[in-house]
């Protein structure tokens, strides 16, 4: 797969729509007090999972960090994410914009997220390349779907991580056009959580990620109708193809999201070998702190 053949595949990917890390490494992150939280975000507001955005609500001043960015992605920055402490206990809510501003991340702001790994019946993993319009990590290759549960009743429900699974189902349809009926909630396997922090690439000094990320596995044959504002390209890969992709990514100029690299380096391949009994790999009591 490496060399000329891999280079040809990358070109095909673009034409469609177009460090190894130690699992024991840690960084410090303190939870926010209620008073500190309010000073950062003001009064949190509940929102429905499906939101309507008015044109006026996304108007920005000349010095706003969102000025000149893709209009659709700017509107999505109004969504309300779930703020948590380092034990994944809900402590409030804030807009997607507020959560991803580096100045807030550096003060400790932390939100809940998820990463879906979808495999077909042959055991190949569906990867996507994030659209160029994305504000964080544009053009990066990553796992099937990565996003956030929202601060709404359905996605706040924590028993069995059902709220996170509902969010995953919603975003699979939004990003990849995968109908909800093709990915039933009961077929998602919540395996574990990771806590990580990363600055945006390309580095802009403005944006980043600081998340407790729920890892979800699902094995289903699905129909993909990618949303070009979210997904630049997509493809299925075998274990060998993904390992070759990672090994040659620097040489080929391929960008990989930081959370995807962390999961690949620490967990993915051992879980992948257990697709027929993936529940045996679940480790839900631990939040793995990574950097």
| Residues with a known catalytic role | 146, 211
What backbone phi and psi angles, to 5 degrees, belong to 11? -60, -40
SS3 192: strand
SS3 59: coil
SS3 241: helix
Spatial distance between the Cα atoms of 179 and 45, rounded to a whole number of angstroms: 29
Q: How many CA atoms lie within 13 A of 156 on its CB side?
A: 17
Spatial distance between the Cα atoms of 137 and 140, rounded to a whole number of angstroms: 6
Find the angle CA(171)-CA(199)-CA(126) to the nearest 5 degrees: 35
Find the angle CA(95)-CA(98)-CA(100) to the nearest 5 degrees: 110
Question: Dihedral through CA 247, CA 138, CA 81, CA 39, nearest 10?
Answer: 110
Q: How many CA atoms lie within 13 A of 151 on its CB side?
A: 20
What backbone phi and psi angles, to 5 degrees, belong to 229? -75, -15
Q: Cis peptide leading into 90, omega within 30 of 0?
A: no
Which residue(s) pair with 218 in the sheet?
118
The residues, ordered by sequence, that sit 6+ positions from 17 with a Cβ below 8 Å of its Cβ are 226, 228, 231, 232, 233
């Amino acid at each position: 797969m490496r060399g000329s053949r891999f280079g040809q595949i990358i070109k095909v990917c673009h034409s469609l729509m177009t460090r190894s890390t130690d699992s024991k490494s840690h960084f410090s992150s303190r939870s926010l007090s209620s008073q500190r939280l309010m000073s950062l975000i003001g009064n949190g507001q509940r929102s429905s999972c499906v939101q309507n955005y008015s044109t006026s609500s996304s108007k920005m001043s000349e010095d706003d960090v969102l000025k000149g960015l893709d209009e659709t992605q700017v509107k999505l920055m109004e969504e309300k994410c779930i703020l948590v402490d380092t034990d994944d206990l809900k402590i409030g809510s804030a807009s997607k914009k507020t959560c991803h501003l580096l100045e807030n991340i550096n003060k400790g702001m932390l939100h809940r997220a998820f990463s879906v790994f979808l495999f077909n019946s042959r055991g190949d993993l569906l990867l996507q390349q994030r659209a160029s319009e994305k504000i964080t990590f544009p053009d990066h290759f990553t796992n099937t779907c990565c996003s956030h549960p929202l601060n709404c009743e359905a996605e706040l429900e924590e028993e069995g991580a059902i709220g996170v699974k509902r969010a995953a189902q919603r975003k699979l349809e939004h990003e990849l056009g995968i109908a909800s009926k093709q990915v039933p909630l009961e077929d998602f396997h919540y395996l574990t959580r990771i806590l990580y922090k990363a600055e945006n690439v390309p580095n802009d000094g403005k944006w980043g990620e600081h998340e407790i990320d729920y890892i979800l596995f699902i094995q289903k044959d699905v129909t993909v109708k990618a949303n070009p504002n979210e997904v630049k390209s997509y493809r299925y890969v075998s274990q060998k193809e993904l390992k070759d992709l990672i090994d040659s990514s620097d040489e080929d100029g391929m960008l990989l999201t930081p959370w995807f690299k962390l999961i690949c380096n620490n967990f993915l391949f051992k879980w992948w070998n257990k697709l027929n009994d993936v529940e045996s790999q679940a480790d839900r009591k631990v939040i793995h702190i990574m950097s």
